[in-house]
Amino acid sequence: LYSQELAPLECHFFGDVVSIIPLGSPDSLNIRTHATIHVCGVPSNIDKPNSTFDIKAKQYLSATKTPDNVFPVHCVFPATPRWEKYKPIPGKGKSVSVEGFLTGLELNDDRSVKHFIVDIEKVTFLGNASSTAPKAEESPTKIVNTGTPARLKFTGFFGDQASGSTNTSEPNPKKRKLDQHTNEPQDKGEGTSTGRRSGGAANKH
């Protein structure tokens, strides 16, 4: 990790590896460059006069076995020609996706990280933050701790698939009659959502 002055800092990141991209030989690669950050979340501490806001992205880490890990980011619109005319500062309760360069960090008095400073390159609005998401215990997918590897037990939508139980009752005659028309095209407004409302456009980590 390098600060804005490209001086090395004592800082470690913990995370689950998603992918690894080979960049070439260390002899031909300049590592003294700013890291790219991609973070999603709901902005807080929105400061329009200074063109800044914070995102505290929560994530599950296998190292800690908890979902309470927070990656605190202080997002800044830099004084560059890109943002000279317009800065898309998100409103309260609007989920956003932010891409930018890690240019520094701010520490607390105990030397722990208060937040990482990211110069914004791109902002994508994802819509209003939902407060109606089901809790973990309400999810139809549950992990059954029966050894390694863990088995998936689907409940709610599919019944108990892990135990091999199935519904052997005779199909409802009315349902069978309706099945004859399944090949007919139906348009009830269902399908893939574009995230846009008709007649307008929609949509911090």
Strands of the 113-128 sheet, one edge to the other: 36-41, 94-107, 113-128, 66-76, 52-61, 44-47
- Choose among 79, 75, 11: nearest CA to 46: 75
The fourth-level CATH superfamily of domain 26-128 is Nucleic acid-binding proteins (2.40.50.140)
Q: How many CB atoms lie within 10 A of CB 117?
A: 20
- Asked whether residue 128 carries a pLDDT value surpassing 90, the answer given is no
C-alpha 38/C-alpha 14 separation (Å) is 15
C-alpha 155/C-alpha 134 separation (Å) is 14
- Which pLDDT band holds residue 46 (cuts at 50, 70, 90)? very high
Whether the Cβ atoms of residue 155 and residue 142 lie closer than 8 Å to each other:
yes
How high is the pLDDT of residue 8? 55
- Token pair, residue 153, equals 């037990």
> Cα 85 from chain centroid?
29
Amino acid identity for residue 97 in this structure: S
- Which pLDDT band holds residue 98 (cuts at 50, 70, 90)? very high
The pTM of this model reads 0.54
- Token pair, residue 47, equals 């400061």
Amino acid identity for residue 25 in this structure: S
Domain map (residue ranges) of the chain: 26-128, 134-167
Q: How many CB atoms lie within 10 A of CB 20?
A: 6
How high is the pLDDT of residue 152? 38
Tens digit of pLDDT for each residue in 1-33?
Answer: 444 554 555 666 777 777 787 777 777 777 677
Tens digit of pLDDT for each residue in 153-173?
Answer: 333 333 344 444 444 444 454
C-alpha 106/C-alpha 35 separation (Å) is 16
Q: What angle do CA 86, 88, 90 make, to 5 degrees?
A: 150
